[in-house]
Amino acid sequence: MEPLEGIKVLDLSRLAPGPFATMVLGDLGADVLLIEAPAGATSEIDRPWADQNQARDDAFDPLRRNKRSLVLNLKETGGREILHKLVAQSDVVIEGFRPGVIARLGCDYETLEGVNPRIILCSLSGYGQTGPYADLVGHDINYISIAGMLGLIGWPGTPPAIPANIMADFAGGGLHAAMAIMAALIARSTTGRGQHVDVAMSDGVLYLMATLAKGVLQGGAPPGRGTHFLNGLLPPYNVYETKDGGWISIGSLETKFWRNLCRIMDAEQYTDREFDPTAFEEVKAHFAAKFKTKTRDQWFEILSQDEICAAPVYDMAEALNDPHNLARKMVVEIEHPEFGTVRQVGIGPKFSDTPGSVRSLSPGVGQHTDAVLEALGYSGEEIGAFREGRVVG
């Protein structure tokens, strides 16, 4: 048994945040059905249907694992009728359209609630369903800007450093949506009713920054790039280049960790000056010179022998081959009938009794269309007519 076994999810989303949310739900056992648009039916990037390279790329795509695929044209009356039949048997619908689009497609919450009062509709968008920015287009970089995060990343006197699309798309968006959906499922067990969950990526990023916002809300100055004690101001919470051009991260804030670090770094004269602003640059210079005397991995070997918070700064390939990450099953192997062994990132949360799993790799677009329609009671003739009318694919 898996945590969300028996929960049926319809995924109408397209870009990364929604598929990541349903990846989480699918990894934890939910039955996720992708509702995919026919080729050319949207203004978004269309997926090639019969491209060999695309098929192999899909096999390695974690966002499509543990899911089935139905191609359904929601712009057609027949497509909406099929969706409503699916909604009647489902628990969750997630969509990532701009506000107002689902109403035009006949799958807004009021409509779906009339079909199934227990349905949970999660709308995942950049700025949410309300507010002056609700209709604005955007991407991760814009949402982390509005939430105040981008302005914190980088060093003083330099432009903000643009991170990969992790904070808004995946953390503030997909992960928050998955969390909210699971909370709504728990609430439904008490109320007997579903509800509309409005997840904005800009909200999610600001939510992640609650402790940073605390100082400003109580009257303090906003932190800047490299000026906060957790973003580069302090010598014991920083990164240093090593002899081989690698980098080592240090996070030895607590007194005992700091004392150990000073001892290893021949810097015991700074033991009582960890938080002395007049010593910051002097200590950083001392550490910078010392770290240049050995390679990154040599330093990690040395520092890991004592109670010192330190870790090598990895590239992605190194992270995926680190012995700890492998021992934690954060890389899993699944067999694909055409491409052999496929490696993917594993599942974050570990459960003692009901662990999640990667049960299947990416489906082909529309791979399960016939099976889904047959399960809804449609005949072969009706399915053929739907195909001819481009209602399904």
| Separation of alpha carbons 210 and 76, rounded Å | 44
Q: Is residue 338 part of a domain?
A: no
Active site residue 84: no
**Is 194 contained in some domain?**
yes
- Number of domain units in the chain: 1
For residue 197, the cross-strand partners are 122
Per the domain annotation, does 264 fall within a domain? Answer: no
Distances (CA, A) of 83 to 33, 91, 330, 367: 11, 13, 35, 17
Exactly one of 27, 58, 91, 169 is catalytic; name it.
169
| Sequence-ordered alpha helix ranges (H) in 295-379 | 296-303, 316-320, 323-327, 369-375
Does a structural domain hold residue 336?
no
Rounded CA gap, 357 and 5, in Å? 11
pTM of the entire predicted model: 0.95
Q: Does residue 140 belong to any structural domain of this protein?
A: yes
Give long-range contacts, CB 8 A cutoff, 24+ apart: 75-84.
75/41, 75/105, 76/389, 76/390, 76/391, 78/386, 78/389, 78/391, 79/391, 79/392, 80/105, 80/106, 80/107, 82/373, 82/376, 82/386, 82/391, 82/392, 83/10, 83/35, 83/107, 84/111, 84/112, 84/115
Q: pLDDT tens per residue, the chain (393 residues)?
A: 999 999 999 999 999 999 999 999 999 999 999 999 998 665 454 444 445 578 888 899 999 999 999 999 999 999 999 999 999 999 999 999 999 999 999 999 999 999 999 999 999 999 999 999 999 999 999 999 999 999 999 999 999 999 999 999 999 999 999 999 999 999 999 999 999 999 999 999 999 999 999 999 999 999 999 999 999 999 999 999 999 999 999 999 999 999 999 999 999 999 999 999 999 999 999 999 999 999 999 999 999 999 999 999 999 999 999 999 999 999 999 999 999 999 999 999 999 999 999 999 999 999 999 999 999 999 999 999 999 999 999
Which DSSP state fits 250?
E
- What pLDDT does 56 receive? 87
**CA quadruple 51, 333, 37, 12: dihedral, nearest 10:** -170
Active site residue 139: yes
Q: Which of 84, 139, 336, 368 is catalytic?
A: 139
Q: Strand 340-345 and strand 331-336: pairing? A: antiparallel
Give the pairing type, strands 92-95 and 67-71.
Answer: unpaired
In a domain, 104, yes or no: yes
Indicate which CATH number applies to the domain containing 127.
3.40.50.10540
The whole-angstrom separation of Cα 272 and Cα 250 is 18
Q: Which domain holds residue 34?
A: 8-208+351-388
pLDDT at 50: 45
Asked whether residue 284 is domain-assigned, the answer is no
| Residue 266 within any structural domain of the chain | no
